[in-house]
Amino acid sequence: MQRYAFFAETAVETLAITTFNAIMFIIKQSKDLARYLQKQRSVKKTIGFIPTMGALHQGHLSLTKKAGEENGVVVCSIFVNPTQFNDLTDFELYPKTLESDILLLEKQGCDLLFLPDVAEIYPSGISPATAYELGYLESVLEGKYRPGHFQGVCQVMHRLMEIVRPDRLYLGQKDYQQCLVIGKLLELIQSPAEIIICPTLREPGGLAMSSRNLRLSAREKQNAQGIYEALSYISRNIKPGEVKGIAERAGALLIQKELTADYLTIARAEDLRIIDVWDGQTKAIALIAAFMGKVRLIDNMII
């Protein structure tokens, strides 16, 4: 790509893009990011932050748009974090689309892209220095099926929050359990940042937008819509009383679409305590993790 100009404030790899009549800085080192953001804070600008692992889609861009509406500066990061993958193959196959990611962020009006390497995020190595006390949240659903995953999420988010120090942190509802985990992390590290959870964006058939969708064939993507169909079935038909039966019927919809579920669960939205009997009043959420072929997809729907 021949669209970069060096931003001459430092000698490190700090870039500025000027296409589309806008400027988006690309910064690779935390010290330069801190210097830039301190200047913004000095003129009373608030910082909105969207952490990502790249392979961006309209769901990510909706977070960027929301952050731009509510803050003076929008920072997005792209970093594929090795410590949150308990499957090495999944890490190696994670989609990488940096050039298109840069274009999308620029068009959306992102002010700054933080693009660190592993050494920048983990200068002392990737071995965790802290064990985060996440309690029940780490024992169920994603915590159960992906041991160590949320410790890795907390490890990278702790570091990113120290570097960016945002006023507001923008996350997508698709990763609902992760949103709750990050909320717990902010309590543990006493961060004043406000978490904004934005709605899941979906493709025309209802499939939640996800970077992993890039690994699906056309047929697999069609079948993967069964996840949304199962969630919608629960939302339409759930009634006060035992919920085991409706979960089983929704699970049958997954099987019909060749999806293999890790879990299909109804839980309290507040804390993800599993619900066996619903009182009809408690805010609940249906959550699914299922494999389409070798690709693991997650989704949820508030009831």
Residue 130 CA: distances (Å) to CA of 127, 148, 159, 184, 235: 9, 13, 11, 15, 39
Specify whether the CB–CB gap between 77 and 162 falls below 8 A.
no
Catalytic residue among 57, 60, 149, 158: 60
For tokens 């500025």, what's the residue?
Answer: 16
Specify whether the CB–CB gap between 158 and 142 falls below 8 A.
no
Q: How far is residue 134's CA from residue 111's CA, in Å, rounded to a whole number? A: 33
Specify whether the CB–CB gap between 248 and 215 falls below 8 A.
no
Looking at 67-204, which runs of residues are DSSP E strands? 73-78, 112-114, 168-172, 194-198
Residue 26: CB atoms within 10 A of its CB come to 19
Q: What are the residues whose beta carbons fall under 8 Å from the beta carbon of 105, sequence distance 6 or more?
A: 24, 56, 61, 64, 76, 113
Q: What are the residues whose beta carbons fall under 8 Å from the beta carbon of 6, sequence distance 6 or more?
A: 14, 15, 16
Q: How far is residue 217's CA from residue 284's CA, in Å, rounded to a whole number? A: 33
Residue 193 φ then ψ, to 5°: -65, 140
SS3 content of the chain, % helix, strand, coil (to 5): 45, 25, 35
60 is catalytic: yes
Indicate which residues carry an active-site annotation.
60
